[in-house]
Structures are given as C-alpha cells and as structure tokens.
Chain A
C-alpha cells in the first residue's frame, strides 16, 4: 500500500508520472539520505534540488557563516542570513521549501577524525563533495573509498566546471585521476580567479541529479567519466577515465590505508620551463 499522503501525491506528481519513478520511486527518495559537504556554490543548488525532489534526509556540513560575497551564487542563503551559520541558513531554506525533509546540520570542517562519524550519523546513502579545497576533496574521496560510499565529486572555477561520480567497485575514484595534491598556490580559488555565479547551479544540480538517480536506481551514472563544462563555449565533454590500478587509495596495492588530514604542500619556487 502506498505510504504517500494525498498532499505528497500532489507535491511529487510530476515525479510520479515518470515511468522511471512512480509512487514507489518517490518513496525511495523520501527514504533516501544524502550528505552535502559544503553549502556554498555547489552545495546550495544541490541541497535545494534534493529537498525539492523529496529526499527525506539531507545532511549539511559547513563550518562557515554567510558572507555578502556568497550571495552572488550561493542561492540557498539570503541577504537576511548574512552573518548566520551557513548550515542553519541552509536548513531554514530547505524546511520552507519542503517540510517532508529532515535536515541534519554539522557545523564543522570535515577532518580525518570526524568524517566517518558524520557519514555514519545517518548512514548516508550518497555523498556530495561540494567543497572548495583540495585537502577536503582528497579526504572525502579517501573516506568514501574506505567506507564504501558512493559520492559525486565536482570543482568549478571562472567559467568552467567538472564532475565525476564514484561508486564502490564500479570505476575510478577521484585519486585515480588526481593521485597527489597540487601545491598551495598552483590552482586558483574562486576568491582569486572569480567564478560566474551560475556555474555552481549547473554543476551542483548535476551532482544532485546523480544522487537522485543513484537512489532511484535509474539511468547511467558518471562512473568512469569526467564531465567537463565550459560556459563560454557551451560545450560539455564526457571524458572516459579508467580506474587506475596504481591508485594510492582504490588501486590494487593501496598506499593510503587510513584517513589523514592533508596539508597542501607550499609551492616550490622552481623556475618554469
């Protein structure tokens, strides 16, 4: 017997009509649990679309407060939330959008000594890496490989973005592609290089799409593919990426066997060329 109320049948009617979803699919979403690490440019749209879709449990991780410069793209926050904790601001938006969603907030940085506890707190089904720094990205990758949890990786800068999905046993992890951390100043941040606000929307929504498809068990995920997007040329490319048998984390002989807090090495001042 369907557990959906009349109000839910109406709220999610556009999902239920879809052959690949139906009432049963909607129930899967309502029972689904997704952890969004970072409630910024990527996390904002991802969390909002997950909430709209009726993912019943959403975790938000962010230690930061809302800053005016965030509002150009972090659309889960409002002008009135400047100065508030991002996770609280995010929760308020989600609760107003969809009361079916239970939000769990973690006002902290992910670290080697807390990330597995956070993942296990609700035994999340799928994780979204919406962070902005490489130590966090490497840690999230390692934790998901070791905890056997699927996750969506993404990064954005200027007018570009990219994303890939890791599902245990079904393709490469992030570190198959990028085994070692780049030095601190090698890769610009959004603060330094700028970011067109909509980029987070496009890529973050793709991340939510992967989470939703994973929960529903439909479609083809970006496992074994890096999807890149250039907003200036409006070009998407789907690049096949192999699992790396020498990957330090998921390879045949892993050298990374426990979680560590990565330090980004300072840039060597070596001559170019």
Chain B
C-alpha cells in the first residue's frame, strides 16, 4: 500500500498504527508532533489504535519556536 507523508510517497507492506509510522517515517519529536490524517487531527492517545490505509495523506506538524533569541 502507498501513503503520503509530508508530501512524499511511502510504501508499506501492511497497515501500521501511527506510533509505528512515526518510527518508520523517522518523525522528529515523536512525543510532541501533531499528526494530521486525511485532514483531521489525531490525538496522541489515538495513535496506537489508528491504522493507516492505502491512499492516506499524513502530515507531521512540528513545534517551531525560534524567532527572537
């Protein structure tokens, strides 16, 4: 199956949950990243029970502070 993560294609052999996807896709800050699946936010509590499906679009949204100092 093929999904899109942050605009890039990712091939997967079988459906995995979002916790596993964070590892496979090498997400930064996996404890604090905001995950959007097909346009909807998924709460961290739901990662373990949310499995990706063929054609899913996943976005990892990261905290960025930076700015002044």
Contact = CB atoms under 8 A, between A and B. Distances in A.
Interface string A233-251: 0000101111010100000
Interface in A159-207: 160-162, 176-178, 182-183, 186-187, 189-191, 195, 199-200
Contacts of A155: 63-67
Given A178-B34, A187-B32, A226-B61, A242 B40 contact: yes
Interface of A: 38-43, 62, 64, 74, 130-134, 137, 154-157, 160-162, 176-178, 182-183, 186-187, 189-191, 195, 199-200, 226, 237, 239-242, 244, 246
A17 B65 CA distance: 38
A157 B61 contact: no
Size class of the contact patch on chain B: 20 to 34
Contacts of A237: 6-7
A177 B66 contact: no
Given A178-B34, A239-B36, A242-B40, A161 B29 contact: no
Contacts of A162: 62, 64
Nearest to A158: B66
A239 B61 contact: yes
Q: Dominant SS at the B interface?
A: loop
A131 B62 CA distance: 17
Contact of A156 (B31, B32, B41, B67): B67
Contacts of B29: 182, 186-187
A189 B65 contact: yes
Interface string B17-39: 00000000000010110101001
